[in-house]
Amino acid sequence: MTLDGPHTFWRRPVPRLFQVLRTMPHYPDDLRESRRLFERARKVMPGGNTRTTVYIDPFPIYAARGEGCKIWDVDGNAYYDCIGNFTALIHGYGQPDVTAAVVDQMPQGTAFGAPTLSEIELAELLVERLPSVEQIRFANSGTEGVMMAIKAVRAYTGRPRIVKIEGAYHGSYDFAEVSLDSSPANWGDLPVSTAYAKGTPHGVLEDVLVVPFNDIEALKAVFATHGETIAGILIDPMPNRAGLIPARKHYLEAMIEIAHAAGALVTFDEVISFRLGYSGAQGLWGVMPDLTALGKIIGGGFPVGAVGGRAEIMSVFDPTGGKPALPHGGTFTANPVTMRAGLAAMRALTGESFSHLDRLGTLLLDGINASLRRHDLAGQCVGLGSLFKVHFTAHPVTDYRSVYPGPAERRKLDAFHKGLLNRGVLSASYGLFALSTPMTEQDARIILRAIDETLGEIASQS
Ligand SMILES: Cc1ncc(COP(=O)(O)O)c(C=O)c1O
């Protein structure tokens, strides 16, 4: 490790940009233009909102533009972007190869009722990078990629049920949303399946079995009772909403063994975790799933999703012999703008990019843990590589229930999020950070200093 230890950055002179960020106006009072846009939005969109995840109480900060690892709001304030459109923008804004590919494609046509060379090229790159993927199929969002994976395991096995991890987020397909926000009031003894959206059909809850994370015995128990009806297990190897805790390798290996013994399949949702390494989480862990769902970074900043896996399973989509077991279309699927942007972004994401992101991630994760200790705040920062998350809880975090925030933790998370906004750092409101390749070590130190100041402020108010 060539970086300074986590404590040494305090003694460095304050860089100029940080001095600039210190003069940030205060959220929400000073952000007049964002407030004005929100009031306008409320007239034509429910709650002024078209994407629940970006809402902030009392109103969201409206983005005007981005460049590298920073964004500017409509009031002219700059922020380090530590969320990158919810982890999708691994190269930040204006990556030159991505911009050139898109600018070249636009006048040639943005979408056709015919396939293009660009989808073959992106498919070839992904098949080459992901050891478990022999064939792939594109979609327009991670939600759709996951949905296709669920439908594919059902079509392949002829069984109705899937198993998922309590609290894990996999997009907005009904079956993937089950038990996303279970609470102590309804979570009961697993496998209890709870509805996320009001009106979820009861059949959906019956066909999704929920288990705790990293628990082999719970998996065995579910398969012992329901094995013959289970088509597959859906798992994100480092589930963000369930705590961003990495899966144990042994757990993933046992999962595949248990599933295969029952004639079921395992899908890794790598919509986010593909940003952990050159070959994604499966490359890092050295564990091969049957199917992989993708999205976010593979679109170079444009809407995208995909499902890939063993050719034998992917044949459920194959139309060459007549109607396939699982027909699938999509008006904008594999459009050449997304495909070319994705190809340029993925080509620019080299082994060196990951070493760089890992170095910055370690600096921040270690630095935040040191800062929490220094301020005597109950809390911990967990994660891997370019992804990390702050929990304001001192006990060991192991699964969704262990990270479920009580009212005091929720208040701290809110103060953390808004304290960072006021210091020029944009993160997710639930404590998640995602780094991007244009960030430098100096940027990381400035972000860390803003985090430390915010944690100090929270400690002084506790
Ligand atoms: C793990 C995971 N799967 C699936 C999705 C859904 O992707 P999208 O928002 O592109 O539909 C997300 C989105 O955040 C995700 O984090």
Ligand 1 in contact with 267 (CB < 6 A)?
no
Residue with CA at minimum distance from ligand 1 atom 8: 142
> How many A from CA of 355 to the centre of ligand 1?
25
- For the sheet containing 380-384, what is the strand order? 380-384, 387-391, 432-434
Q: How confident is the model at residue 14 (pLDDT cuts 50, 70, 90)?
A: very low
> How many A from CA of 102 to the centre of ligand 1?
23
- Look at residue 441 and tell me whether its pLDDT is greater than 50: yes
> How many A from CA of 296 to the centre of ligand 1?
7
Cα–Cα dist 87/97, whole Å:
19
- Look at residue 9 and tell me whether its pLDDT is greater than 60: no
C-alpha angle 303-308-310 in degrees, rounded to nearest 5: 175
pLDDT digits 0-9 by tens, 223-251: 999 999 999 999 999 999 999 999 999 99
Cα–Cα dist 239/390, whole Å:
14
Arithmetic mean of pLDDT, 455-459: 97
State the CB neighbour count (10 A cutoff) for residue 396: 8
Arithmetic mean of pLDDT, 165-171: 98
Beta bridge partners of 306: 138, 294
pLDDT digits 0-9 by tens, 304-350: 999 999 999 999 999 999 999 999 999 999 999 999 999 999 999 99
For tokens 């100041």, the residue is 453
Ligand 1 in contact with 421 (CB < 6 A)?
no
State the CB neighbour count (10 A cutoff) for residue 315: 17
Task: Name the more confident of 19 and 410.
Answer: 410
Cα–Cα dist 258/289, whole Å:
13
**Angle between helical axes of 249-261 and 216-226 (0-180°, round to 10):** 10
Tokens linked to 378: 């109950």
Contacting residues for 79 by C-beta, under 8 A, at least 6 apart: 61, 70, 71, 72, 73, 421, 424, 425, 426
Residue 462: the pLDDT is 81
Q: How confident is the model at residue 191 (pLDDT cuts 50, 70, 90)?
A: confident
Residue 11: the pLDDT is 32
- Look at residue 2 and tell me whether its pLDDT is greater than 50: no
Residue 23: the pLDDT is 54
State pTM to two decimals: 0.94
Ligand 1 in contact with 143 (CB < 6 A)?
yes
CA dist 461 → 140, 308, 408, 431 (Å): 44, 49, 12, 19
